[in-house]
A and B are shown apart, each in its own frame.
Chain A
C-alpha cells in the first residue's frame, strides 16, 4: 500500500497549515487586536478618561443589572428544563427541545421586535400599561426581557447532553437509599453537573452582556439611562469618539476572551468538546 496516498505530502501539509494560520490571523485575530490598539491610541490616560465618563459608568452598571436579572432566571429555568428533558420521556419532548432552542435561530432584531409588538406604544398591551404608568419599552424592563429571550437556551442546551450522558443511575441509587428528591438533586445531581452548569451560565452571561441587536430595538437610546455597554459602544462610535468606543469594546472583548479561556479549561477538564457556543 502506498503510504503517500493516505496522507498529503509534507510540503502540502506545511502549505495548508500556513494558509490556515494566515486565515485565522487575518480574519479572526486582527479584529480582536484592533480593538485594543484603537483603545490605546491615546495611551492609558485616554482609557482612564473614557472609563470615568458618567455615561460609560452608567452603561456598565446597567449591563450588570440586566445580566444580574436575566441570567439567574434563565439558569433556574435551564436547570429545570434539563431535569425534565434529560431524565424523563414524554410526548412532545423533541418539540420542547426545539422550542427552547428557537431563540438561537431568530434574528436579534426580531428578538427585540417581538417585545415592542407586545409592549410598545402601538403594542397589544402598551396603551393599557401606559395608563397604569408602567414603562417597559425604552426602559430597563424591556432590556431585561429582550436579553432573557436571547439568552434563554444557553443553560438548558449545555446541561441536557451532559445529563443524558451521565445517566440517572446515581440519582436512582440515592433515592433507593432514602434521600428525598431535593436532597438527591443537591447532593448528587448538582455536584455532577457543576462544571457544565458553570459553563452554561458563563455562556448565558457573555451573551447577556454582549447582546446588541435585541436591546438596540427596545432601548430607545436614552443616554445614561437605557444604554447598555454594546449600545454605548455604538453611540460613541457614531460620535467619532473612537477611543471611548473601543475602550468599552475592549472591556467586552476581555469578557469574550475570559469566556473562551474558561471554555478551553473546562473542555480540557471534562475531556471532550462542547458545541454549546453555537
Chain B
C-alpha cells in the first residue's frame, strides 16, 4: 500500500561472503535465507511469525471465515439490507468527500511548509501531526463541543442556518480533521524532491507562474495527490472514535458502517457483523488497489 512510505525504503544491506565462516544459524540459514554473517535469523523470524500469527493473522482469519456461516445468500442478504447499504454509502461517500476537501487543504499546507519560511513554522509542523497523536475519542468530543449549536464555531454557523454537529456534515468535519495529515505528509517529500530546473526552464520559455503551477508542478504532484487521497479515504472509511460523537447516529441518515458493526455485535449477530466488516475491508482494499494502479500508471507515463 502506498501510504506507508517509511518502510518502503529498501537499502541493500548485502551479505558479506568473506565472513561466511561466521554463520552460526542452523541448517535453515542458507537455503531459505541468504547467507549472512549475522546470527539470529531463526529466533527473530520465529518470534515475529508466532506473535504475528497469534495477534493479527488468527483473529483476522475469523473475520474472513465467519460470515460464511450465513451461506452465500445469507451474506448477500446481510450486506444489502437498506440500513446497511445506507451506512456503507454514508461511510464511503463522506470519506471520499473529506479526502477530496483535503486535496486543496493538503496541497496548500504542504506547499507553504516546504517552500516558505515563516515564524512558528516548526510549531505548525508539529501541529500537522496532531490528529494522528490525539486519541480519536478526544478529537470526537472536542469537535462536537466546537460545532455544537452553542460551541465556538457552531454558534457562528447556527444563525446562518448551518447545522454541523449531529448531521452528516459533522461526520465530514471529523473526517477532514483525521485525514489532513495523511495528505500533507504524503505530499511534502514529493514537493521537496520537485526539480527546480523544470520550473526554471518553463520560466525561461516565458511561462507565467500560474501556468507553471498548472502545467509543471501539479502534474508532477498528481501521483502523490492520489496516494494521499487514498490514505485519507482508507482512514476515513474505518474511522469510529472521532465520528460517533458528532454524527448523531440516526439510522439511514447519519449512521456510519463501523457503528453498525458494533450494533450487530450487541445483538449477538456475529456473522452479520463479520460480513459487514469483511465487505468494508474488501471495498477499501479494492479502492486502494485501483488508486495504486492509477498512480503507478501516471508515474510510468511521466518517466
Chain A at the B interface: SS class:
helix
Q: How many Å lie between the Cα of A161 and that of B64 in the bound state?
A: 31
Please tell me which one of the listed residues A19, A157, A257 contacts residue B7 in the complex, with CB atoms under 8 A apart.
Answer: A157
Asked if residues A80 and B43 are in contact (CB atoms below 8 Å), the reply is: yes
The answer, among B118, B141, B240, for a CB contact under 8 Å with A109, is B240
A217-B262, A259-B133 given as contacts; is B141 within 8 A of A245 (CB)? yes
Which of A2, A31, A86, A117 is B274 in contact with, Cβ under 8 Å?
A117
**For chain B residues 108-150, which have a beta carbon within 8 Å of chain A?**
108-109, 111-113, 116, 118, 120, 122, 124-146
Q: What's the count of A-B pairs with C-beta under 8 Å?
A: 358
Chain A: interface residue count, which band? 35 or more
Question: Are B124 and A278 interface neighbours, CB within 8 A?
Answer: no
A1, A90, A110, A118, most chain B CB atoms within 10 A: A110
Using A181-B40, A212-B241 as known contacts, say yes or no to A32 and B209 having CB atoms under 8 A apart: no
Q: How far is the CB of B238 from chain A (nearest CB, A)?
A: 3
Within 8 Å by CB of B63, from A29, A114, A209, A234, lies: A114
Cα A231 to Cα B138 in complex, Å, equals 10
- Are B56 and A117 within 8 A (Cβ)? no
Within 8 A of B (CB), among A230-251: 230-231, 233-234, 237, 242, 245-246, 249
Contact B277 A260 (CB under 8 A): no
Contact B11 A167 (CB under 8 A): yes
| Contact assessment for A181 and B38 in the assembled complex, using a CB-CB cutoff below 8 Å | yes
In whole angstroms, what is the CA distance A257 to B135 when docked? 11
Q: Which residues of A contact B151 (CB under 8 A)?
A: 34
**Which B residues lie within 8 Å of A260 (CB)?**
126, 129-130, 133
Decide if B280 is an interface residue (CB 8 Å cutoff): yes
- CB of B135 within 8 A of CB of A278, answer no
Binary A-proximity of B43-66 (CB < 8 A = 1, otherwise 0): 111011001100111111011001
Residues of A within 8 A of B140 (CB): 212
The answer to whether A87 and B38 touch across the interface, beta carbons within 8 angstroms, is yes
Say yes or no: A32-B130 contact (C-beta < 8 A), given A6-B203, A168-B37, A276-B6: yes
- A sample of 16 more A-B contacts (CB under 8 A), given A5-B212, A83-B40, A210-B136, is A23-B108, A23-B109, A34-B142, A80-B45, A88-B36, A101-B4, A103-B56, A104-B4, A108-B238, A152-B52, A152-B55, A175-B19, A230-B136, A260-B130, A261-B126, A278-B4
Chain A residues within CB distance 8 Å of chain B: 1-2, 4-9, 12-13, 16-17, 19-21, 23-24, 26-32, 34-35, 38, 73-74, 76-77, 80-81, 83-91, 96-110, 113-118, 120-124, 145, 148-149, 152, 157-158, 160-161, 164-165, 167-168, 171-172, 175-176, 181, 184-185, 206, 209-213, 216-217, 230-231, 233-234, 237, 242, 245-246, 249, 252-253, 256-257, 259-261, 263-264, 274-278
Counting from the closest, the 4 A-B pairs by CB-CB distance are A107-B238, A210-B135, A5-B203, A114-B59
